[in-house]
Amino acid sequence: MANLPSFALELAIRVAILLAAAALIFFGTALIPGDFVTELLGQDYTPELAAQLRHSLGLDRPLPERFVTWLFHFLQGEFGQSFTSRIPVWDVVEPRLANTLMLAGAAICWFPLALAAGVASFLAPPQIRRFLQLLMQVVLCAPEFLIAYVFIYVFAVQLQLLPAVSRLAPDQSLSEHIRVLILPSACLGVGMIAYVGRMLLSLLLMEEKKDYFEFARLRGFSRSWIALRYAVSAILPSIINLLLIYCAYLLTGVLVIEVVFGISGIGELAVSSVVWRDIPVLQFCAVFITAIYVGIYSLSDLIAGRISRRGAL
Amino acid sequence: MRALTFIGFVLFFMVTPYVIGTSADTFSGGGLFESPSPAHPLGTDYLGRDMLLEILRAGSVTMFICAAATVLSLVCGLTCAALSSALPSIPGTILARGMDALNSIPSLIIAFVLIAAFGSTTTSLIVIITVVEFTRAYRSLKAPVIQIFAEPFVELSRIRGEGFVYLVTRDVWPNLRPYAAVELVNRFVACLMFLSAISLLGIGVQPPTTDWGTLIKLNATGLLLNSAAPLIPGLFILVASLLALFAASNASRQLDFSKS
């Protein structure tokens, strides 16, 4: 517990960074030129009505004051009302959040396969390994939406195995959910397999150069046995870190994949809030996603620190 | 050689539309989503226009925005890296922490907020991509810049009384060129991916101007009509990023060679 002050300091820094990020997001959205009050009123526009609406939305106050009020309301869980649908932001977000979480969860299910890919390419003969490395490189260079469209073209249009548009509804059965989620989650999963596989391969190749690996081999253990039994557990902190970094990547990857597959989730909501200039919804989505992002990275630092410290003892 | 291939690829797409002079309203009279044929080597798009011409036209927009954003983000990132290692400790720390805060917001979210604020004109897209990417350039150039600033010859120039601009342009920059070249290529790929992603989401380049991402989005309906049209711009993006990658793997060696 001697590390408690430094831990608290670390936590304080993260919170400060998050606050600064929230401020950047707030002032970014406050920069919006043109009066969105006029846009909001449309044909009903009269100067009096505009002034009234601006007052009721609190837009006539100075900017720093608005930021503080906004932050306090936000921390109390009052996220304001959507400009376009006129219902509380949380009611707009909640049903979509479930869809996004389902997609992200389905994408994480591919992680074991990524681990297997890394270990398999380490154990494969050199020519095959080089081929696999090249393949992973190509996949990494391909943007996820290209992978998504290729998958739709092959599996939904040509082979007609899976639906091209993924409609998620609460009344669907579990098997229907899975069927709908296979294709979008696979698009994210393929990128993950390539990224994690490559990182794992280079980590294992580095382990192979270490003394214990050489020693175990001289003792007569096979290469695959050493890799699975010792090397994988030696790089476990890095693997957990990879998983967390990938979760952070999923956050933004999911936004694009949602739009491609027409899943109504947070990403689709955020994009439409940009198009319709629905500021409260946009602010909520931005701060929410950023908070998760910062949280995941803090957790990854924490876990990496903890485990390697325990290993050092 | 690899670097030249990549630069050639970029320049080709930048220049071609001015040479062949395509414009948005020339219709080739083809049907919708035709398969490739001698008349239309890559088939036709969702309005029956020739896909190859569309790709070339969109390619110049893509390459122009990406190249501008890449250069800008590299310059900004480099300036901030130099500033943060040359400034006294308190302003330097504030700069570094500000970068951390900007870095902790996912790039798409920054784009959402700024696009809602500034719209999606070409200029604002360049600025927005620069804002997203320069923190990345800063992060990877910071370590070499600090290292070079600690070298004795920089200390010597400083004692001689040279100004900040001299230190950066004469002492730091020549030693930084290999890093900057690799970073330039990496930033280009990141800009390309990012621009394509926001265009695909429908908040990037707006029709009738198109880039490769917008082309994918506009032709997406073709997939359900059994046409591969939306995949073609995607393949061009893939080829561009692969070429860039091969160039990057060679870039630092090339520059070291040309320097000696």
CA distance A136 to A131: 9
Question: What phi, psi does A81 have (nearest 5°)?
Answer: -110, 145
* Residue B104 vs residue A4, higher pLDDT: B104
Structure tokens that stand for B174 in this block? 């020549």
- Chain B residues in contact with A32 by the CB 8 A cut-off are 116-117
Task: State pLDDT tens for residues B140-189.
Answer: 888 888 888 888 888 888 888 888 888 888 888 888 888 888 888 889 99
Q: How is A171-204 classified by DSSP, letter by letter?
A: TS-HHHHHHHHHHHHHHHHHHHHHHHHHHHHHHH
Choose among B117, B200, B226: nearest Cβ to A29. Answer: B117
DSSP B36-61: P-SSSTT-B-TTS-BHHHHHHHHHHH
pLDDT band at A32, cuts 50/70/90? low
Contacts of B201 in chain A (CB under 8 A): 255-256, 259, 271
The shortest CB-CB distance from B223 to any of A16, A153, A251 is to A153
Q: Which of A28, A138, A260 sits opposite B114 (nearest CB)?
A: A28
Of B101, B230, B241, the CB nearest to A20: B101
Confidence at residue A313, expressed as pLDDT on a 0 to 100 scale = 39
Question: Residue A278 above 90 pLDDT?
Answer: no
Residues of B near A (CB-CB distance < 8 A)? 97-98, 100-102, 104-110, 112-118, 189, 193, 196-197, 200-203, 216, 220, 223-224, 226, 228, 230-231, 234-235, 237-238, 241-242, 245
Query: Is A141 in the B-facing interface, judged by CB distances under 8 Å?
Result: yes
Q: Tell me the chain A residues in contact with residue B107 when contact means C-beta distances shorter than 8 Å.
A: 252
% pLDDT > 90, chain A: 0
| Helix B51-86, helix B122-149: angle, nearest 10 | 40
Q: Which residues of B touch A274 (CB under 8 A)?
A: 112, 115-116, 203
Q: Please state, as a whole number, how many other Cβ atoms lie within 10 Å of the Cβ of residue A78.
A: 13
Selected residues 253-272 of chain A with any CB under 8 Å from a CB in chain B: 255-256, 259-260, 270-271
Average pLDDT over residues A193-217: 86
Per-residue pLDDT of chain B (260 residues; tens, 9 = 90+): 778 888 888 888 888 877 776 555 566 666 777 777 777 777 777 777 777 888 888 888 899 999 999 999 999 999 888 888 877 778 888 888 888 888 888 888 888 888 888 888 889 999 999 998 999 899 888 888 888 888 888 888 888 888 888 888 888 888 888 888 888 888 999 999 999 999 988 888 887 788 888 888 888 888 877 777 888 888 899 999 888 888 877 655 555 544 43
Q: Is the predicted pLDDT of residue A54 greater than 70, yes or no?
A: yes
Res. A209: pLDDT tops 80: yes
| Start-to-end C-alpha separation, chain B | 18
For residue B168, the model assigns a pLDDT of 85
pLDDT of residue B71: 94
Q: What percent of chain B has pLDDT over 90?
A: 14
Mean pLDDT of A293-304: 81
For the stretch A128-173, pLDDT in tens is 888 888 888 888 888 888 888 888 888 887 787 777 776 766 667 7
Which has the higher per-residue pLDDT, A185 or A89?
A185
pLDDT-derived band at A2 (thresholds 50, 70, 90) equals very low
